[in-house]
Every structure is written in C-alpha cells, then in structure tokens.
Amino acid sequence: MRGIRDPRLVPIAEKVMAGERLSFAEGLVLYETKDLPTLMRLANLVRERKHGHKTYFVHSIRVSQTNICYVGCTFCAFQRRFGEEGAWDWDVEEVVAWVKARYQEGLTEIHLTAGHHPKRPFQYYLDLVRALKENFPGVQVKAWTAAEIHHFSKIARLSYQEVLLALKEAGLDAMPGGGAEIFAERVRKRIARAKVSAEGWLEVHRTAHELGIPTNATMLYGHIETLEERLDHMERLRRLQDETGGFMSFIPLAFQPDGNQLARELGKKEFTTGLDDLRNLAIARLYLDNFPHIKGYWATLTPELAQVSLDWGVTDIDGTLIEERIVHMAGSPTPKGLTKEALAGIIRSAGRIPVERDALYREVRVWDQVEA
C-alpha cells in the first residue's frame, strides 16, 4: 500500500492485506496514529473484502415497555422511579397496542430494551414475546440486553440458560448488544456499578450463542474510559467470538452528554468528535476481524456521519427505528426515525448498495445497484 505517512503503520498494513490478526499493541498504534487516511483505507479494504459495496439496514420498531429501573447507571437519562414524572410501565396489551398503532407494512424487526423493573415477574416477559409473535406473525423479536437477562435470572431464580431457553421457546429470535458499556472494572464501578458485571455480560452472550440465539455487541465510549480500555473491550469480544461465532455485529455507541448524572459530574457538554467516531469504527473493523459487521448507528452518529462512515469500515447503519427513545432522552439531536427510502438514499449517495435485511442479517431486498 502506497502513501503511508506513519512508518508504524507499514507492518500493520502488511498484516491487514495478508488477512492476519492484529495484536493489542498494534491496535493501540491505530488509536495513536495521525495518519487517518491510511487508517481509513485499511478499514475500507477489510470492509470491501467482506461485503463489497453492500450496506445493510433494517425496517424496525423500537419498543421500551417501561423506563422504571432500579440500576441507576450514571450515564442514563432514560430511567425513572415509580411515581416520578415521565415514568411509564405498560402491560402486555398496552405494548401490543402501541406497536399496532405504529406498525408499517414490511416491518421485520421488533426491538425491545427497557429498564430493570423491580416488580414485574419473569412470566410477564414470556407473555410479552408470545403476544408480539401472535399479533405480528412473521416479524422477528430481538429483545433484551444481557443486563436485562441477568435481571430476569435474579427475579426468576433461574440460570442464564433456563431464562434464555424459555424466552427462545416463547419466540425470541435474537438479542441486541446493549448493557456492555465498557468492560473495564475501573470504569464500570463509576458508570454502571449495579449492572451485570463484564463477566456476566459475556457469559449471557456465550449461553445465548450455545442455544442458537444470535446477538450483537456494543461499546459505550466517549466518557471516562481510556483508549486501552476501549481496546480491552474489543479484545474480550474478539475472544468470545472466536469461541462461539454468535455475534452478528459490533456497535460502538457514542456517549450522549445531556440529561444524565455522569455528564453533570464531568461538566461534559460536548459530543464525541466526528474524527473520534470514525477512528473508533475503523479500528473496530480492523481489530474485530471475526465480526461480520461493524454498525455505524445513525441515531448517535447523525445520518450524515453514518454516511461518511461507510468508507471507514461500516457495513450497517441500523434501521428505521420507529420512535427510538433511549438515546434521544440522553440528548441525541437526531430524528427519532427515518424511512426506508431515506436510509437507502443515504447509502446510495455514498456509492454503496443499499440492502434491506432482517434481524438475522438475511437479505430482504437489494434496493438497487450502484454504477461503478
């Protein structure tokens, strides 16, 4: 590869072009280098090697059945206590009615994540999955983070395997990747002290994969974590993926500095910079060599930066997200949803091929081809 300005990137580029795995030390070089054009070209090389110009999105609706939560993560602006202004707590019938009111033709994914409700029994969640499958046949249910699965195991006094098997039998198709935050204990104690541990999060996903439930993985960045802690997070995910192969995509989530305790404690008002977001995505694409997809989540990046990220290793920009709430309550200035046409247009304008997928990354429709 010609035009490499940082000599430290020469051996890394040789490994990438040969399809060899990068070491932890080489990953740190990627975080340190100022040669961003080379970083971009390397990430794009891997992206096109894996998927060509195809770029994926999903027609999905985001549902949060409650924002009642006892965990108290300091980065969260979503959680409420009983009786607090803005709190909601829906019965199964109310969730179904909410989805029916917003249902659109061709919807393929219902995505559920919510608070850790202290009083709902585990049976409620089984009934909810069954009701969604019965009322919206053919739509896949991608539901509940590893943190929520850990919560279910506590209230039901069941193992992770027993909880996940019961949810799968009720109709669960896949799991989102939230709740991972940053695995480093130092950070976790500060931002998510009462949430499932890193080891617990990884064990839930390991168990899900063993039961044939595919999942995604996330990383919340841009707050108090170090660059070494970001890479450590990816390293642990890479090891688990080597073991199970059950992850579909990795989604870096930029910290939203509004309406939450952590932002107030840090005096932080600035969002992550575009270059930090793009560098992070490119490093993820290069370091997580065993992950099929790196997702540029437009709801936190903005649609414009998500479009640019398609040259930085990204092959998925998530979906229509009908009425997303969690990141928007934390200050995200992006729309609460985009149409399929808008998403396809973002991808097409970047010179890529828009591919509508389902929750399991099966192709639903290739929207059109892009001239070379």
- Of 247, 160, 173, 157, which Cα lies nearest the Cα of 209? 247
Q: What was the pLDDT predicted at 371?
A: 45
- Count of structural domains, the chain: 1
**What is this structure's pTM?**
0.94
- Of 143, 139, 146, which Cα lies nearest the Cα of 128? 143
Q: What is the pLDDT of residues 289-302, one digit of tens each?
A: 999 999 999 988 99
Count of all residues that appear for the chain in the document: 372
Q: What is the pLDDT of residues 58-79, one digit of tens each?
A: 999 999 999 999 988 888 888 8
Say if 21 falls within a structural domain. Answer: no
Q: Is 20 annotated as a binding residue?
A: no
- Of 68, 165, 161, which Cα lies nearest the Cα of 126? 165
Report d(CA 56, CA 314) in Å as an integer.
Answer: 9
Q: Residue 2, exposed/middle/buried by CB under 10 A (0-12, 13-18, 19+)?
A: exposed
Instruction: State which residues form the domain around 200.
Output: 55-365
- pLDDT of 334 > 80? The answer is no
Residue 113 φ/ψ, nearest 5 degrees = -145, 150
- For the CA atoms of 135, 168, 69, 303, the dihedral, rounded to the nearest 10 degrees, stands at -70
Say if 256 falls within a structural domain. Answer: yes
Say if 33 falls within a structural domain. Answer: no
Q: Is 75 annotated as a binding residue?
A: yes
Alpha-helical (H) ranges within 103-226 are 122-135, 146-156, 160-170, 185-191, 198-210
Say if 19 falls within a structural domain. Answer: no
Q: Is 76 annotated as a binding residue?
A: yes
Q: What is the pLDDT of residues 231-249, one digit of tens each?
A: 999 999 999 999 999 999 9
Q: Are 55 and 352 in contact (CB under 8 A)?
A: yes
Report d(CA 38, CA 49) in Å as an integer.
Answer: 16
DSSP tally for the chain: helices H, then strands E: 16, 10
Per-residue burial over 106-143, b if 16 or more Cβ lie within 10 Å, else e, is: ebbbbbbbbbbbeebebeebbbbbebbbeebeebbbbb
Q: What was the pLDDT predicted at 368?
A: 78
Q: What is the pLDDT of residues 242-290, one digit of tens each?
A: 999 999 999 999 988 877 888 888 888 788 899 999 999 999 999 999 9
Say if 120 falls within a structural domain. Answer: yes
- pLDDT of 157 > 50? The answer is yes
Say if 91 falls within a structural domain. Answer: yes
Say if 45 falls within a structural domain. Answer: no
Say if 35 falls within a structural domain. Answer: no
CATH code for the domain in which residue 186 is found: 3.20.20.70
Q: What was the pLDDT predicted at 372?
A: 44
Q: What was the pLDDT predicted at 330?
A: 57
Report d(CA 276, CA 246) in Å as an integer.
Answer: 28
Q: Are 299 and 62 in contact (CB under 8 A)?
A: no
- For helices 198-210 and 160-170, the axis angle rounded to 10 degrees is 50
